[in-house]
């Protein structure tokens, strides 16, 4: 009996410890995101907990101060760099060609070199002069990396009998190439980074120094018919990096919601974000909204990096200082004007579409959501974005009776458009399952309209307000979900806060299901053989042509 009892205590302690570690890690992840968005000096504990979706008081349990949290975040990045790059590459020391190939793959890969992480490394380096801990951690990481590169190049010089070459100088050249590519990543968004091209450029450098040592990578062609015959998508569609890059084509022509009108209320205010496969900037001109590409014509850097703010008289590129007027024309240089896109305010949502194409109306007639409900929240899910999108489409947009928005709604009317847009209109029920749902339904009556905006957004229009969920693929098997809420005025604002709570719970459940499905795929189990719901099939039909020529494991 006592063994069992002890076991339970030990188990409970283990669970508590695990949950503490997870909470701490969540704060570190949020701190890295905050540093990426705001920079070290403007990152505050409030901003970090807002991103983490946790209460401010909880930070004290894990970190003595903001400074300690920042150092822990930097230590996390350094440990990750060590484990994911230095250790595996050093293990291949005896085979310098393979080791250098792996080093290039990992150094430029999405895990270590995401724009978020790279920009945070540079932010810490920028402050290293005044903070000894930053200097020590950043310096150690760079030194260990440089030592490994020098060692591998030295071995290769010996192996290839090219002793006339200066190993130190070649290593410095390789580090320089990688460094320049990282700097470029820091100013890009994930959608615009061409990692395959970055790898090719680095390998070209190595090939030019060691002719014949690094063979070109062979591409293995998979027979397309096998893909076409599958009822759903094959497992590789949820695991393959190259496919994720190809999927960017889906964004280029897709209408999407950038945020809420409440985020750019005053004339001269702007809102920035990703849409149409690029960075976009929407400006409130006083009379209208104007959507421009947020990309300097000189070197393609972002003109503004904040999500929202106020424009000065002109838009000044932070890199070399070229200026643009608020209408997108360059002040002096012979640069082309910034590209324009279609933009519309629809019920308080800011919708962006390709230039020259009218933005469709999504909100029900008379709908308005003029007030923001709290800051945006983010959750990172260790699963491919399509697993989450398919789950949304299966649960809400199935023709069957499951279309009841987690018990809040009665069965509704489903409409599928040829472009993959799906909408479900459902009346709210009288009572709901669970405390928050019951409280919410006690306040809100009417209909709920849920719209899936392909390929990656879900927009809910409720009597109390609107919620926009956006899937941001970070890697083939990692997705960030960003959730934004706005409310109708008056009484509805309180109900919208309740709805916000419901979304948090749904999202947690969605994340668990998607992560479990991803683990199944990683373990070699096949995705469901059952024919998908019509809305899911529409999404999958757009992915299938992108699979041609891909083979499991090709990255
Ligand atoms: S990149 Fe904008 S001015 Fe040079």
SS (H, E, C) 459-479: EEEECCEEEEEEEEEEECCEE
Give the count of alpha carbons within 13 A of 492, CB side only. Answer: 20
> Is residue 299 in contact with ligand 1, taking CB distance under 6 Å?
yes
DSSP assignment string, 528-546: P-SPPPHHHHHHHHHHGGG
Report whether residue 319 contacts ligand 1, using a CB cutoff of 6 Å.
yes
Looking at per-residue pLDDT, the higher value among 11 and 127 belongs to 127
Q: In terms of Cα–Cα distance, which of 543, 521, 523, 519 is closest to 532? A: 543
When mean pLDDT is compared over 165-179, 211-225, 493-507, the highest value belongs to 165-179
For 291-348, what is each residue's pLDDT tens digit? 999 988 887 788 988 999 998 888 888 888 888 988 899 987 677 889 999 999 999 9
Q: How far is the CA of 221 from the centre of ligand 1 (A)?
A: 40
Query: Which ranges constitute the DSSP H helices of 370-413?
Result: 385-396
Rounded to whole angstroms, how far apart are CA atoms 190 and 475? 9
Residue 10 has pLDDT above 80, yes or no: no
Residue 427 pairs in a beta bridge with: 447
Q: Using a 6 Å cutoff on CB, does residue 320 contact ligand 1?
A: yes
Q: Ligand 1: distance of its center to the CA of 99 in Å?
A: 36
The model's confidence at residue 388, banded by pLDDT at 50, 70 and 90, is very high
Kindly give the distance from the C-alpha atom of residue 253 to the centroid of ligand 1, in angstroms, as a whole number: 27
Asked whether 393 lines ligand 1 (CB < 6 A), one says: no
End-to-end, the C-alpha distance of the chain in Å comes to 53
User: Is the minimum distance from the CB of 413 to ligand 1 under 6 angstroms?
Assistant: no
Does the CB atom of residue 445 touch ligand 1 within 6 A? no
Instruction: Tell how far the Cα of 7 is from the centroid of ligand 1, in angstroms.
Output: 62
Using the mean position of ligand 1's atoms as its centre, give its distance from the Cα of residue 189 in Å. 16
- Residue 335 Cβ inside 6 Å of ligand 1? The answer reads no
How much distance in Å is there from the Cα of 468 to the middle of ligand 1? 33
Ligand 1 closest atom vs CA 299: 1
User: Ligand 1 atom 1: the closest Cα is on which residue?
Assistant: 299
β-strand pairing of 269-275 with 278-284: antiparallel
SS3 124: helix
pLDDT digits (tens, 9 = 90+) for 442-461: 888 889 899 999 999 999 99
Residue 536's pLDDT band (cuts 50, 70, 90): confident
Ligand 1 atom index nearest CA of 301: 1
Phi-psi region of 198 (alpha: psi -120 to 50; beta: other; left: phi over 0): alpha
Q: Which helix (H) or strand (E) holds 278?
A: strand 278-284
| Residue 297 Cα: closest atom of ligand 1 | 2
The answer to whether 503 and 407 are in contact (CB under 8 A) is no
Q: How far apart are CA 531 and CA 188, in angstroms?
A: 38
Distance from Cα 331 to the centre of ligand 1, integer Å = 13
Binding site membership of 315 for ligand 1 (Cβ less than 6 Å): no
What is the best residue among 281, 298, 332, 336 to mutate for testing ligand 1's pocket, by most ligand atoms within 8 Å of CB? Answer: 298
Q: Which helix (H) or strand (E) holds 242?
A: helix 241-246
pLDDT tens readout for residues 85-119: 898 898 888 889 989 998 998 999 888 888 888 88
Cβ of 317 less than 6 Å from ligand 1:
yes
For the stretch 399-430, pLDDT in tens is 544 445 667 887 778 888 877 888 888 888 87
Instruction: Give residue 398's pLDDT.
Output: 60
Atom of ligand 1 nearest to the CA of 300: 1
65 pLDDT higher than 50: yes
Kindly indicate the confidence band of residue 533, based on its pLDDT and cuts at 50, 70 and 90.
confident
Helix (H) / strand (E) element for 122: namely: helix 115-127
Q: Could you identify the atom of ligand 1 that is nearest to the CA of residue 317?
A: 2
Q: Ligand 1 mean position to 302 CA, how many Å?
A: 9
In angstroms, what is the span from residue 259 Cα to ligand 1's centroid?
Answer: 27
Global model pTM greater than 0.75: no
């Amino acid at each position: 009996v006592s063994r069992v009892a002890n076991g339970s205590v030990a188990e409970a302690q283990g669970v508590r410890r695990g949950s503490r570690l997870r909470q701490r890690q969540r704060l570190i992840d949020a701190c890295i995101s905050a540093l990426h968005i705001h920079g070290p000096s403007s990152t505050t504990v409030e901003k970090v907990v807002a991103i983490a979706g946790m209460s401010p008081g909880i930070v004290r349990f894990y970190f003595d101060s903001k400074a300690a949290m920042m150092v822990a975040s930097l230590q996390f990045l350094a440990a990750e760099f060590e484990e994911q790059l230095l250790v595996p590459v050093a293990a291949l020391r005896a085979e310098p060609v393979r080791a250098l190939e792996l080093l290039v793959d990992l150094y430029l890969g999405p895990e270590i070199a995401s724009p978020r992480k790279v920009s945070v490394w540079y932010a810490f380096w920028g402050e290293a002069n005044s903070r000894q801990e930053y200097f020590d951690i950043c310096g150690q990481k760079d030194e260990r990396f440089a030592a490994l590169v020098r060692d591998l190049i030295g071995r290769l010089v010996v192996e290839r009998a090219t002793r006339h070459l200066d190993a130190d100088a070649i290593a410095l050249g390789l580090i320089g190439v990688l460094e320049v590519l990282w700097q470029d990543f820091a100013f890009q968004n994930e959608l615009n980074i061409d990692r395959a091209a970055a790898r090719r450029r680095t390998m070209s450098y190595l090939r030019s120094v060691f002719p014949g040592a690094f063979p070109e990578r062979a591409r293995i062609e998979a027979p397309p018919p096998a893909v076409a015959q599958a009822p759903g998508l094959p497992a590789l569609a949820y695991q393959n990096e190259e496919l994720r890059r190809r999927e960017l084509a889906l964004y280029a022509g897709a209408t999407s919601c950038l945020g809420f009108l409440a985020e750019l209320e005053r004339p001269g205010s702007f809102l920035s974000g990703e849409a149409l496969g690029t960075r976009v900037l929407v400006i409130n001109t006083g009379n209208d909204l104007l959507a421009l590409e947020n990309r300097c014509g000189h070197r393609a850097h972002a003109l503004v990096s904040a999500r929202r703010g106020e424009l000065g008289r002109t838009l000044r590129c932070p890199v070399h200082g070229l200026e643009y007027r608020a209408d997108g024309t360059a002040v002096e240089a012979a640069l082309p004007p910034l590209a324009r896109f279609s933009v519309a305010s629809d019920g308080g949502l800011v919708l962006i579409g390709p230039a020259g194409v009218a933005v469709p109306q999504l909100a029900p007639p008379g709908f308005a959501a003029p007030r923001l409900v709290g800051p945006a929240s983010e959750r990172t899910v260790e699963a491919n974005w399509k697993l989450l999108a398919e789950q949304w489409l299966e649960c809400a947009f199935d023709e069957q009776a499951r279309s009841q928005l987690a018990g809040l709604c009665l069965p509704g009317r489903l409409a599928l458009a040829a472009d993959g847009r799906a909408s479900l209109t459902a009346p709210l029920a009288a009572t709901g399952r669970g405390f928050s749902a019951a409280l919410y339904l006690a306040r809100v009556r009417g209909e709920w309209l849920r719209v899936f905006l392909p390929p990656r957004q879900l927009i809910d229009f409720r009597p109390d307000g609107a919620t926009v969920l956006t899937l941001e693929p970070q890697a083939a098997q990692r997705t960030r979900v960003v959730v934004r809420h706005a409310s109708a005025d008056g009484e509805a604002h309180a109900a919208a806060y309740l709805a916000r709570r419901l979304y948090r719970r749904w999202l947690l459940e969605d994340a668990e299901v998607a992560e479990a499905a991803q683990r199944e795929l990683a373990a070699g189990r096949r995705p469901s053989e059952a024919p998908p719901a019509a809305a899911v099939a529409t999404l999958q039909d757009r992915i299938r042509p992108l699979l041609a020529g891909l083979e499991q494991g090709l990255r």
